[in-house]
Amino acid sequence: HVQEEVSLIPSVVLAPRPGELILDMCAAPGGKTAQISVAMASEGTVVANDVRIDRLRALRSNCQRLGLLNVAMTAHDGTRYPLDDGPFDAILLDVPCSCEGNIRRGISVDYEPQGTFLTGRSGLQATLLGRAWKMLAPGGRLVYSTCTFAPEENEMVLDYSLRDDAHIQPIHISGLTVSPGVTTWLGRELRPDCANVSRFWPHSNDTGGFTVALVRKDVAN
């Protein structure tokens, strides 16, 4: 299916490698899953998960149409994803969000009132990230992404959910203008490496909008 250019960024930043075990935690309808599978050259396994069965049908159809051979599908609630299925070498977490980056396409934005951090959608995002981090192997990498710009759904979620074993890495995408993340918001000091969060603004790139963070996990001692 057709995707905005910026929708391809999270899978590129994840840098899948042949032979890895990778989780796409909120995968449907499967565009990013397909990118990951192709990058792995059918070696290794991509676990494509989504809580909604109807969306998994679309994912399965796309995988069959593209002839992808290394994709396994699961239908778990990501906030309670079985820990025994890990650890994963890499995880893509493209979370449900308010979709501010789609404004130029006339898609409505699902705003939440100010002051609701961790009580609404951002609470779900933080819980998903916390669960994903538990399933990531030491030395592994996780990409957290949204098609929105609100720090409440990006930097504040990363600041809340990540601990000392996490390191947000700078990224570079050739041909696109990137704006840095914020390290303070609404009077709150955030972890310094939130500056490495990358925002892709529609007016800077003539694309949709996206926010992406690459996070690496410490190797176990």
For residues 6 and 13, give the distance between their C-alpha atoms in angstroms, rounded to a whole number: 11
For residues 143 and 9, give the distance between their C-alpha atoms in angstroms, rounded to a whole number: 10
pLDDT string in tens for the chain (221-residue length): 677 789 999 999 999 999 999 999 999 999 999 999 999 998 999 999 999 988 899 999 999 999 999 999 999 999 999 999 889 999 999 999 988 887 777 666 666 665 666 678 899 999 999 999 999 999 999 999 999 999 999 999 999 999 999 999 999 899 999 999 999 998 999 999 999 999 999 999 999 999 999 999 999 75
Q: What is the pLDDT of residue 114?
A: 59
Q: What is the pLDDT of residue 102?
A: 79
User: Does a cis peptide bond (omega within 30 degrees of 0) precede residue 96?
Assistant: no
Residues annotated as catalytic (active site), given as ranges = 147
pTM of the shown model? 0.94
Q: Report residue 2 CA to chain centroid gap.
A: 19
Q: Helix, strand or coil for residue 103? A: helix
Q: Helix, strand or coil for residue 207? A: coil
Does residue 48 contact residue 78 with C-beta atoms inside 8 Å? no
Q: How far apart are the first and last CA of the chain?
A: 43
Report all structural domains of the chain as residue ranges with CATH numbers, in order of start: 5-217 (3.40.50.150)
Q: Report residue 36 CA to chain centroid gap.
A: 13
Does residue 46 contact residue 71 with C-beta atoms inside 8 Å? yes
For residues 125 and 172, give the distance between their C-alpha atoms in angstroms, rounded to a whole number: 24
Q: What is the pLDDT of residue 107?
A: 66
For residues 14 and 32, give the distance between their C-alpha atoms in angstroms, rounded to a whole number: 10
